[in-house]
Amino acid sequence: MSVLRIRPWRLMFVAINTLFLGAVVLLTVYPFLFIIAASLSDPLYIQQGRVGVIPMGLQFDAYRRVLEYPMLGRAYLNTVVYTVVGTAISIVLTVCAAYPISRRNLPGRKLMTGFILLPMLFGGGLIPTYLVVSALGMRNTIWAIVIPAAISSFYVFIQRTFFEQIPAELEDAAKIDGCSQLQCLLRIILPLSVPSLVTIGLFYAVGQWNSFFPAMIYLNDEEMFPVQILLRDIVIQNQTDQMMVDVFDDKNLIGESIKYSTLVVATLPIIAVYPFIQKYFVQGSMMGSIKG
């Protein structure tokens, strides 16, 4: 009898939970579906507000014109370089900061942890950062993009928690076999930390790919602009009309089509990476956030 009494409430909970999560998924996915549908729709339907999640009047002229834009290829290459180099530097620095403070026998461990925690509470500000970057001669270089945001205290603590979950006996056994501290890190700890490193690397890569403010401040050479600066010029600064007149000599295409197409072109590559690392992402985000 108790099972029969509990079952309807459990079924109700499952139904309500399913509806709620379905609504959340719908609200999350709908903007992406709308942007893709608008980028493939006839400009007339976009102007009339008749486009939903299904393209109307299928056409690819906007994509053709965006891909023909002279600066796009160079901007894409710059973004890929900034993302790969920046992510690699960020992962190395995060490991170098997280591993020592995960060792409980480290002298001054609490003090070091406090110094790493401090930037999460207080920041130097834009002007001091700009002055430091300029004084170091990094303006108009790749280092102005990847160095100031090279490490995040939040990700350091996540990685530290993951390192602390690895049994200390593995490291002790390696030391008995003659491994040094560095060898233990490279041969034992890091291979076991692949899920967390991939997860943090994805976060760093997405942040670097979507970053445009540092490039807007520190870069003056258009040859070094990332794709997000190009996206800003089209979407925010309303330069679509000028682009169509000067480059394509075609005024028949409504600016909204090019805006949506540029959004898809700039966003799709980083989204396409996720399915390949999804298994590591789930495991790393769970294990790195719970102390076992």
Q: What is the DSSP letter of 273?
A: H
Q: How confident is the model at residue 241 (pLDDT cuts 50, 70, 90)?
A: low
Given 22, 43, 59, the domain boundary residue is 59
Please compute Rg for the chain using Cα positions: 24
Predicted model pTM: 0.79
pLDDT digits (tens, 9 = 90+) for 66-123: 777 778 888 889 999 999 999 999 999 999 999 988 888 888 888 888 888 888 888 7
Is residue 37, in this structure, part of any structural domain at all? yes
pLDDT value for 82: 93
Is 46 in the same domain as 160? no
Given 59, 78, 103, the domain boundary residue is 59
Scanning the structure block, which residue is given the tokens 């169509």?
244
Is residue 70, in this structure, part of any structural domain at all? yes
Q: Residues 6 or more apart from 232 whose CB is under 8 A from it?
A: 212, 216
pLDDT over threshold 70, residue 54: yes
Enumerate the H helices of 139-254 as residue ranges: 143-146, 153-165, 168-176, 181-184, 190-192, 194-210, 213-218, 227-235, 240-243
Given 29, 59, 89, the domain boundary residue is 59
pLDDT digits (tens, 9 = 90+) for 174-209: 888 888 888 888 888 888 888 888 889 988 998 899
The whole-angstrom separation of Cα 2 and Cα 17 is 22
Is 90 in the same domain as 142? yes
Residue 133, domain extent: 62-287
Is residue 3, in this structure, part of any structural domain at all? yes
Query: What mean pLDDT do residues 43-61 have?
Result: 80
pLDDT value for 20: 92
DSSP 138-150: -TTSTHHHHSTTS
Is residue 53, in this structure, part of any structural domain at all? yes
Is 41 in the same domain as 151? no
Is residue 103, in this structure, part of any structural domain at all? yes
pLDDT digits (tens, 9 = 90+) for 259-284: 788 888 888 887 887 777 766 666 55
Is 74 in the same domain as 135? yes
Is 86 in the same domain as 200? yes
Nearest Cα to Cα of residue 168 among 217, 102, 223:
102
The token duo for 177 is 């076999």
Is 146 in the same domain as 248? yes
Is 53 in the same domain as 142? no
Q: Residues 6 or more apart from 248 whose CB is under 8 A from it?
A: 65, 68
Per-position b or e across 33-59, b if 16+ CB within 10 A of its CB = eebbbbbbbbbebbeeeebeeebbeeb
CB distance 255 to 78 below 8 Å: no
Using a pLDDT cut of 70, give the percent of the chain over it: 85
The whole-angstrom separation of Cα 121 and Cα 197 is 24
Is 22 in the same domain as 89? no
Q: How many domains does the chain have?
A: 2
Is 79 in the same domain as 49? no
Is 54 in the same domain as 66? no
Check which CATH number belongs to the domain holding 80 and give it: 1.10.3720.10
Is residue 159, in this structure, part of any structural domain at all? yes
Q: Residues 6 or more apart from 290 whose CB is under 8 A from it?
A: 161
Is 132 in the same domain as 189? yes
Q: What integer best gives the mean pLDDT of the chain?
A: 81
Is residue 292, in this structure, part of any structural domain at all? no
The distance of Cα 140 from the centroid of its chain, to the nearest Å, equals: 23
pLDDT value for 143: 93
Q: What is the DSSP letter of 79?
A: H
Is residue 221, in this structure, part of any structural domain at all? yes
Is 68 in the same domain as 148? yes
The whole-angstrom separation of Cα 216 and Cα 222 is 10
